Amino acid sequence: MTSGLAGLTASEIRRRVAVREVSCEDVLREHLDRITAVEPMVDAFLFLSADRALDRARRLDATLADGGPAPPLAGVPVAIKDVLHVDGLPTTCGSRILEGYRPPFAATAVARLEARGAIVVGKTNMDEFAMGSSTENSAYRPTRNPWDRERVPGGSSGGSAAAVASRMVPLALGSDTGGSIRQPAAFCGLTGLKPTWGRVSRYGLVAFASSLDQVGPLARTVEDAALASSALFGPDPLDATSAGEPLPDFARALEGHAAGLRVGVPWDFLAEGVDAQTLVRFRESLAALESAGASVSGVALPHLPHAIATYYLVATAEASSNLARYDGVRYGRRAPGIHDLGGLYGETRDLGLGAEVKRRIILGTFALSSGYYDAYYLRAQKVRTLIRRDFGAAFSGCDVIATPTTPTPAFRLGEKTGDPLQMYLADIFTVPANLAGLPGLSLPCGLAHGLPVGLQLLARPFDEETLLRAGAAFQKETRHHELEPPL
């Protein structure tokens, strides 16, 4: 076990800071020491911001010494996926095309954490423009899974997951377009929450697929995920799609009462392709929920087998439009020595974008192009409606839907890089929540082949309270979230 302050949860750090048992600077320094020791083995970060962090920690300590109240995240070191803008730090999005970019504004999600006393220690590695399931598509370097450094940490928020799992920070932000918080959380033994679409402002989040993208926390416990959510959730005048729905009662959720909770399981959807040990852990998880007072029954989600195809058409179409902005004109790198505008666009994008990003732009542009729009993009949007209707019907008979987060534990570095379709198929259980706009939570549910796997719970739109309540109940019944990788 990691000893000292770097082994603590965010909630425990805040508690000790609030009673002035430790200073924010002490907390930060122990985490920076941990980063110095462990980061060379994991490669979770693209940039560290120790000076900025120390400055902020000292200023907060001065306020606390004057008797000021401790804000809800006082002194909690956090890592930010490099897809979100932090005031004064670069944003690359894992891409060469944004190398050297300094955003002139901060993401609302980050600003909300910092306003509540969190201390940003750095920006974490990711698949380029969040396109990937392994963090191997980073233009800079791969990140390693702290449980087995020959394996991927998952993606695209792989750096954030590896940073939390290796105790370099207790909390990190990720973004989830098709599973990019939940899948790396599962692969690294963490608790990861993708909130309902609209729950967290996307202002300052670099856009991948705007109807699917959502910001959320990676943490070790449901309690810490709830703590982060209490800071992140809520409307933002700078994001017109952020929602003003009532906020969850986080304290009530964390009591973790599962009595009467109805858990639905789409057994048909799990019949094939799930690793046997992963399925055993999943069945044990259902039993744990039952012993906490929940009831488990089957649900039908007949269109889920079409979710991956639907997702990869919708997401790439939106991405092809969103990524048109990288043209070498307003920001980002520009190809040198080109004297016509069309050539400038083409060469800039060829130099700056990696293979997976190009592949997705090509697929998305194809799906939107004249002659193919109806058969691909429009049809995918209609199937998306069918998938959402499936969930609406299923939730009439249950409160949460449970699946494994992934069909297998973390795969080896390089294992799937040559076969994009195999990489896409690994997202089978996570993409439906993004298509339907549902909140999803991944919880550590034990080890398969010595590696962590996750239990995924989905709930109705804006019902994160039930999701966190079920998660808290699960973590009262189990100790899986206390397992630590052998670094």
Complex with another protein: residue 241 or 277, whichever CB lies closer: 241
Options 23, 49, 81, 134, the catalytic residue: 81
CB nearer another protein, residue 47 or residue 366: 366
Q: Is 370 a catalytic residue?
A: no
Which window, 17-25, 53-61, 200-208, 300-308, contacts another protein (CB under 8 A)?
A: 300-308
483: which DSSP letter? -
Of the pair 146, 332, the CB lying nearest another protein is at 332
Distance in Å, CB of 346 to another protein, minimum: 4
Note whether 349 binds another protein by CB under 8 A.
Answer: yes
CA distances for 473 relative to 258, 297, 453, angstroms: 6, 18, 18
Asked if residue 468 lies in contact with residue 225, where contact means CB atoms within 8 angstroms, the answer is yes
**369 given a catalytic annotation:** no
**How near is the Cβ of 90 to another protein at its closest, in Å?**
11
At its nearest, how many Å lie between another protein and the CB of residue 277?
27
Which one of the listed residues 23, 95, 180, 285 is annotated catalytic?
A: 180
- Stretch (H or E) spanning 448: strand 440-448
303 binds another protein, rule: CB under 8 A: yes
Left, alpha or beta for 337 (phi > 0: left; psi -120 to 50: alpha)?
left
Please tell me whether residue 437 binds another protein under the rule CB under 8 A: yes
Footprint of another protein on 417-436 (CB under 8 A): 420-421, 424, 436
Query: Is the Cβ–Cβ distance between 75 and 17 less than 8 Å?
Result: yes
> Looking only at residues 311 through 340 of this chain, which bind another protein when binding is defined by CB under 8 A?
312-313, 320, 324, 327-334, 338-340
Q: Binder to another protein among 53, 97, 383, 402 (CB under 8 A)?
A: 383
Q: Site for another protein (CB under 8 A): which residue of 10, 190, 299, 380?
A: 380
Cα–Cα distance measured from residue 331 to residue 446, given in angstroms and rounded to the nearest whole number: 45
User: Which window, 60-68, 216-224, 382-390, 395-403, contacts another protein (CB under 8 A)?
Assistant: 382-390
Q: What's the token pair of residue 45?
A: 């970060």
Q: Are 199 and 181 in contact (CB under 8 A)?
A: no
* Residue 81 engages another protein in binding (rule: CB under 8 A): no
Nearer to another protein, 187 or 377 (CB): 377
Q: 450: phi > 0 → left, psi -120 to 50 → alpha, else beta; which?
A: left
Among 63, 211, 230, 277, binds another protein (CB under 8 A): 211
To another protein, the closest distance from the beta carbon of 233 in angstroms equals 15
**Which of the residues 127 through 186 are near another protein (CB under 8 A)?**
none
Q: Two tokens at 445?
A: 């549910």
The 3-state DSSP class for residue 404 equals strand
Q: Is 30 left (phi over 0), alpha (psi -120 to 50) or beta?
A: alpha
Nearer to another protein among residue 71 and residue 132 (C-beta): 132
**# residues near another protein by CB under 8 A:** 73
Q: Which part of the chain contacts another protein (CB under 8 A), choosing from 32-40, 158-166, 173-181, 372-380? A: 372-380
**Binding segment for another protein among 2-10, 63-71, 120-128, 341-349 (CB under 8 A)?**
341-349
Report cis status (omega within 30 of 0) of the bond before 156. yes
Note whether 358 binds another protein by CB under 8 A.
yes
Among positions 225-244, residues that touch another protein (CB under 8 A) are: 235, 237, 240-241, 243-244
Q: How far apart are CA 463 and CA 427, in angstroms?
A: 23
**156 is a catalytic site residue:** yes
Q: Which is nearer to another protein, 224 or 356 (CB)?
A: 356
Per-residue mark of binding to another protein, 241-260 (x: CB under 8 A): x-xx----------------
CB of 474 to another protein, least distance (A): 26
Alpha-carbon gap, residue 353 to 357, rounded angstroms = 6
Q: Closest distance between another protein and the C-beta of residue 429, in Å?
A: 17
**Residue 370, CB-side half-sphere exposure with 13 Å CA sphere:** 0
**Complete edge-to-edge strand list for the sheet that includes strand 191-194:** 45-48, 119-124, 77-81, 171-175, 215-219, 191-194, 440-448, 451-459, 400-404, 262-265, 295-298
Contacts of 94 (CB under 8 A, 6+ apart): 46, 82, 83, 125, 126, 127, 128, 129, 130, 137, 138, 139, 140, 156
Q: How far is the CB of 138 from another protein (least distance, A)?
A: 19
Backbone φ/ψ region at 239: left (φ over 0), alpha (ψ -120 to 50), beta: beta
* Residue of 382, 392, 412, 449 interacting with another protein (CB under 8 A): 382
Residue 104 or 260: the one with the smaller Cβ distance to another protein is 104
> Considering the rule CB under 8 A, would residue 96 count as an interface residue with another protein?
no
User: For residues 424-440, b (16+ Cβ closer than 10 Å) or e, as one string?
Assistant: bebbbbbbbbbbbbbbb
Please report whether residue 197 would count as binding another protein according to CB under 8 A: yes
Measured distance CA(39)–CA(250) in Å, rounded: 33
Among 66, 342, 396, 486, binds another protein (CB under 8 A): 342
Q: Check: CB of residue 440 under 8 Å from CB of residue 193.
A: yes
Write down the least CB distance from residue 213 to another protein, Å.
11
Beta-carbon-side half-sphere exposure of residue 412 (alpha carbons within 13 Å): 4
Active site (catalytic) residues: 81, 156, 180
